[in-house]
Amino acid sequence: MTKQQANWSPYDNNGGTCVAVAGTDYCVIAADTRMSSGYNILTRDYSKIIQLADKSVLASSGFQADVRALQKVLAAKHLQYQHQHNKQMSCPAMAQLLSNTLYYKRFFPYYAFNVLGGLDHEGKGCVFTYDAVGSYERVGYSSQGSGSTLITPFLDNQLKSPSPLLLPARDAVTPLSESEAIDLVKTCFASATERDIYTGDKLEILVLNASGLRREYMELRKD
| 8 A C-beta contact, residue 193 and residue 199 | yes
Contacts of 101 (CB under 8 A, 6+ apart): 70, 73, 74, 77, 110, 134
Does 76 bind another protein (CB under 8 A)? Our answer is: yes
Q: How far is the CB of 57 from another protein (least distance, A)?
A: 16
Q: How far is the CB of 75 from another protein (least distance, A)?
A: 8
Phi, psi angles (nearest 5°) of residue 125: -70, 145
Phi, psi angles (nearest 5°) of residue 134: 105, 0
User: Which one among 6, 83, 157, 168 touches another protein, defined by CB under 8 A?
Assistant: 83
H or E element at residue 41: strand 40-43
In angstroms, the CA 143 to CA 121 distance is 23
Among 32-40, 80-88, 147-155, 204-212, the segment contacting another protein (CB under 8 A): 80-88
Residues 36-75 that bind another protein (CB under 8 A): 54, 72-73
Q: 97 or 150: whose CB is closer to another protein?
A: 97
Q: 87 or 195: whose CB is closer to another protein?
A: 87
Give me the count of residues in the chain.
223
Q: 44 or 77: whose CB is closer to another protein?
A: 77
Does 80 bind another protein (CB under 8 A)? Our answer is: yes
Residues binding another protein (CB under 8 A) = 54, 72-73, 76, 79-80, 82-83, 86-88
